[in-house]
């Protein structure tokens, strides 16, 4: 089983499109479940942008499963991530977390899933991230 992906978006449509287009090109995209968390708008000015993103999200394909979680009120990025990651980890035991401004390589999902599996039982490793160099140096120096 591959780790589900949690993507957190707000009002940046172009960023979200770039992130999702890159993610769709990943070798494991069609075998991965994607959960997109769309935070509620802060004010009426943001409402239209949030709704544009939500309409765009309805057109997304290329994943094993896509679920869009629409928040009615604005929870803020930190609270959204904490709640979303907690929900996914409680259900699946692991998660790959992305924000709307990250562009991944076609092998990103493979790399992250490999890392999650490789270090699953390693007590010295709490999390894995795309900033892997310091982790590798730390493990090799011990």
Q: Is the dihedral of CA 92, 94, 100, 102 positive or negative?
A: negative
Asked if 70 contacts 39 with a C-beta cutoff of 8 angstroms, the reply is no
**Can you spell out the DSSP letters for 29-71?**
GGGSEEEEEEPPPSSHHHHHHHHHHHHHHTT--SSSEEEEEE-
For the stretch 58-89, pLDDT in tens is 999 999 999 999 999 999 999 999 999 999 99
* Prediction pTM value: 0.86
pLDDT digits (tens, 9 = 90+) for 118-133: 877 777 666 544 444 3
pLDDT score recorded for residue 139: 44
Cβ–Cβ < 8 Å for 30, 62? yes
Domains and CATH numbers, the chain: 5-141 (3.90.550.10)
């Amino acid at each position: 089983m591959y780790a589900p992906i949690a993507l957190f978006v707000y009002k940046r449509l172009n960023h979200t499109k770039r992130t999702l287009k890159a993610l769709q090109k990943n070798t494991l995209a069609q075998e991965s479940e994607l959960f997109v968390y769309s935070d509620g708008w802060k004010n009426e000015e943001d409402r239209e942008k949030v709704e544009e993103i939500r309409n765009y999200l309805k057109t997304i394909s290329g994943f094993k499963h896509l679920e869009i979680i629409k928040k009615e009120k604005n929870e803020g990025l930190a609270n959204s991530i904490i709640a979303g990651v907690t929900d996914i980890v409680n259900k699946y035991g692991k998660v790959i977390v992305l924000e709307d401004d990250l562009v991944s390589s076609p092998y990103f999902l493979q790399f992250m899933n490999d890392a999650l599996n490789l270090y699953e039982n390693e007590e010295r490793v709490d999390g894995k991230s795309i900033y892997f160099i310091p982790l590798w140096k730390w493990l090799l120096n011990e």
